[in-house]
Amino acid sequence: MSTIIIGIGNPVLSDDSVGIRIAHMLAHELRARPDVETRELWAGGLRLMEALKGHERAIIIDAIVTDGGKPGSVYTLQPSDLRQSRNTCCAHDAGFQEALELGVMLGLNLPRQITIWAVEADDVETFSENLTRDVERAVPVVVEGVMRQLTV
């Protein structure tokens, strides 16, 4: 099964970089797996939909900010679990759901199985290349969970 792992985030915006960091670690762990491609993206929406093309399964890793969420909490979600993102609401892109719907309408070969690993962020506004303590602790949890998911 062709799988793509995509880490999303901004590498210099504290906890927003968690998806990219985890994808980088997974790329190292999975370098001998020709059936798994690992990518890092700095934007969602249409760019993400384009990266998903041609794969049977996708694993997306990103930071998330929820009302009352505890920093470092790890969630596994499906695309239907997501509501509009504050970062993809602009005239030049689309939200994740809209991008997937557009891809289906265009007849693109998109994955039938999409899992989102989200880490509750503490700080997504400070320019820093460091994760906060709670988010840093979540990194090995997600790496191990994704590795387990790949064996299924």
The domains of the chain, with CATH numbers, are 3-150 (3.40.50.1450)
Collapsed DSSP state (helix, strand, coil) of residue 20: helix
State how far the alpha carbon of 87 is from the alpha carbons of 4, 45, 95, 104, in Å: 22, 9, 8, 22
Query: At 97, phi and psi to the nearest 5?
Result: -60, -45
Residue corresponding to tokens 């999409």: 114
Q: Binning pLDDT at 50, 70 and 90, where does residue 98 land?
A: confident
Collapsed DSSP state (helix, strand, coil) of residue 21: helix
Note the residue count of the chain: 152
Q: Binning pLDDT at 50, 70 and 90, where does residue 87 land?
A: very low
Q: Binning pLDDT at 50, 70 and 90, where does residue 106 land?
A: confident
pLDDT above 50 for 89: no
pTM of the shown model: 0.87
Burial class of 27 by CB neighbour count within 10 A (0 to 12, 13 to 18, 19+): middle
State how far the alpha carbon of 44 is from the alpha carbons of 88, 91, 132, 139, in Å: 7, 14, 23, 21
Q: Would the CA dihedral through 130, 131, 132, 136 be positive or negative?
A: negative
